[in-house]
Amino acid sequence: MSAMASSPGVVAYAPASVGNFAAGFDLLGACLAPLDGSLLGDLLEARPAERDEFHLVGPYASLLSGDSRPNLVVRAAGLYAEALAAKGLKCGPFRLTLEKRLPVSSGLGSSASSIVAALVALQALCGDPLTQGELLEMAGRAESHASNGLHLDNVAPCLLGGLQLMVPGSQRAQSTRRLPWPEDLLVVVVHPDYSLPTAESRAVLPPTLSWSDTLGFAGNLAGFVQGVQSGDRALLGRCLRDPLVEPHRARLVPGFLKTKAAALAAGAVGCSLAGSGPSIFAVAESEAVAAQILDAIQCGFRAEGLKNRGWVCCLDPRGARLVDAQIQVPSLAGEVKS
């Protein structure tokens, strides 16, 4: 039996995301949508083929071309094929083309974006045979190859949209819950021209925590969740911080503490590393304030000699999705194959 749909091909878009979201190390993640309407995330074209193929193009393709490991898209496709085989369904062969639009090791959920785009595209081509929960678990397994552990705080918001909280699930799979986010609160995110692998960021974390650190983290996360659920803006702002890992990682990003201080002085509700860094995110209460914060963060990075790019975003409520045919994956001329 085959799960192949009749569509000649699809293009999936998977947005950038901010893991941890300051208050929730490995437990919170937010999906980003730039206010200017640009696509901040990876694109994946999937179409039936005579044999399995993978092609890598886009502005950041060259950063992955020297990696001897299989691309995460290939890993995700393999997991997807295994899941369908377990259901007695045939998957493929497919020609997969990833347009790598997110910088790698950036703190913007680059790995999650590639993985989720691949799964969403394959799911559409095969007639939606898997549940959303199965896709989420599969995305987490695929990303564990990049982060050396199962972490859903990027793949969950990328796949499901919005602000996602990781909660206890069954023995076989974790689960998530969407938290409400005030529509007027904007997210400013700035990526410096600086690479910080997740493994390096995790290496500086202590192997154990004190009781006071554990209680401080738990209380702060609980306060954040209560703040967004109840609409208590003062509580939300007080808890939009990272007391757990930021003190250990701050030194890994040039000028982070000064840049954070400048963002807060410019009116940010809160400011922290995006995921494991080096990108920085801050929350603003209006577009005017967001523009001031964006300028403050970019000036801070420039003072360290770092070129950077920045975006003012709202939270993307949809997450990964198919995009219409007007958005084309680039020509394969000059492609990088894997």
Q: What is the pLDDT of residues 192-224, one digit of tens each?
A: 998 888 888 889 999 999 999 999 999 999 999
Q: What pLDDT sits at residue 60?
A: 84
Q: How far apart are the first and last CA of the chain?
A: 29
Q: Which residue has the tokens 């206010």?
A: 35
Burial of 209-244, coded b for 16+ CB within 10 Å and e otherwise, reads: eeeeeeeebeebbebbbebbeeeeeebbbebbebbb
Q: What is the pLDDT of residues 245-297, one digit of tens each?
A: 999 999 999 999 999 999 999 999 999 999 999 999 999 999 999 999 999 99
Q: Domain 186-315: which CATH class?
A: alpha beta
pLDDT band at 331 (very low <50, low <70, confident <90, very high): very low
Distance (Å) of CA 286 to CA 71, 234, 266: 39, 16, 12
Question: pTM higher than 0.75 for the full model?
Answer: yes
Q: What pLDDT sits at residue 332?
A: 42
Q: Which residue has the tokens 């552990």?
A: 149
Return the DSSP state at 251: G
Q: What is the pLDDT of residues 106-149, one digit of tens each?
A: 999 999 999 999 999 999 999 999 999 999 999 999 988 665 66
Q: Domain 10-179: which CATH class?
A: alpha beta
Q: What is the CA radius of gyration of the chain?
A: 20
pLDDT band at 66 (very low <50, low <70, confident <90, very high): low
Find, among 244, 259, 280, the residue nearest to 108 by Cα. Answer: 280
What tokens does 116 get? 């989720």
| Axis-axis angle for helices 110-125, 132-147 (nearest 10) | 140
Q: Which residue has the tokens 């994956």?
A: 329
User: Which of 57-61, 154-158, 170-174 has the lowest average pLDDT?
Assistant: 170-174
In three-state secondary structure terms, 132 is: helix
With a CB cutoff of 8 Å and minimum separation 6, the contacts of 203 are none
| Domain residue spans of the chain | 10-179, 186-315
| Axis-axis angle for helices 256-265, 287-303 (nearest 10) | 150
- Average pLDDT for residues 7-35, to the nearest whole number? 95
